[in-house]
């Protein structure tokens, strides 16, 4: 399905003992990639979107069409906002905005906030909104200040 959705992309399949079938797939084009990990024992796909060597997402969906469609859109050059509108499960706008701003501290806070397993999202959002998290700005405020760091 990924080959049909992403013609002209590089597709690598690797070993992943914990994944369904024991494999993961990475589909890439240029400086973008999508990493797909099928879950073992249930219909669930973990999806990671990568830009210039940095993962910007850690998402999950049960729909293979969402995996293939979002991969095709991302690898076709869609912006993060376009991707989130077309594929709502793939909303990582705050993380991408922080990454694009060049502010590594803000980027890391946004990653922590979005990572569901840590269950820190509400805490970090509340702390950032009241100015209690060093380097983090209120959610949605990324881009008001621009700091440029070498990548």
Q: Is the domain of 71 the same as that of 20?
A: yes
Q: What is the DSSP string of 65-110?
A: HHHHHHHHHHHTT--HHHHHHH-GGG--HHHHHHHHHT-HHHHHHH
pTM: 0.68
The answer to whether residues 79 and 107 belong to one domain is no
Number of domains making up the chain: 2
Query: What's the domain range around 116?
Result: 92-151
Weakest-pLDDT range from 40-44, 89-93, 110-114, 122-126: 122-126
Do 82 and 122 fall within a single domain?
no
The residue from 91, 113, 130 where one domain ends is 91
pLDDT digits (tens, 9 = 90+) for 52-80: 888 888 888 999 899 999 999 999 999 88
- Give the pLDDT of residue 151: 35
Tens digit of pLDDT for each residue in 18-51?
Answer: 666 677 889 999 999 999 988 877 888 889 898 8
């Amino acid at each position: 399905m990924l080959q049909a959705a992403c013609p002209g992309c590089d597709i690598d399949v690797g070993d992943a003992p914990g994944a369904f079938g024991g494999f993961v797939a990475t589909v890439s084009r240029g400086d973008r990639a999508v990493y797909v990990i099928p879950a073992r024992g249930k219909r669930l796909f973990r999806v990671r979107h990568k830009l210039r060597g940095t993962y910007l997402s850690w998402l999950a969906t049960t729909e293979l069409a969402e995996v293939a469609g979002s991969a095709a859109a991302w690898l076709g050059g869609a912006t993060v906002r376009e991707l989130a509108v077309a594929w709502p499960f793939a909303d990582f706008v705050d993380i991408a905005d922080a990454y694009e701003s060049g502010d590594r501290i803000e980027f890391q806070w946004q990653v922590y906030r979005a990572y569901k397993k840590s269950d820190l999202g509400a805490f970090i959002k509340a702390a950032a909104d009241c100015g209690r998290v060093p380097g983090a700005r209120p959610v949605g405020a990324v881009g008001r200040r621009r700091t440029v760091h070498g990548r």
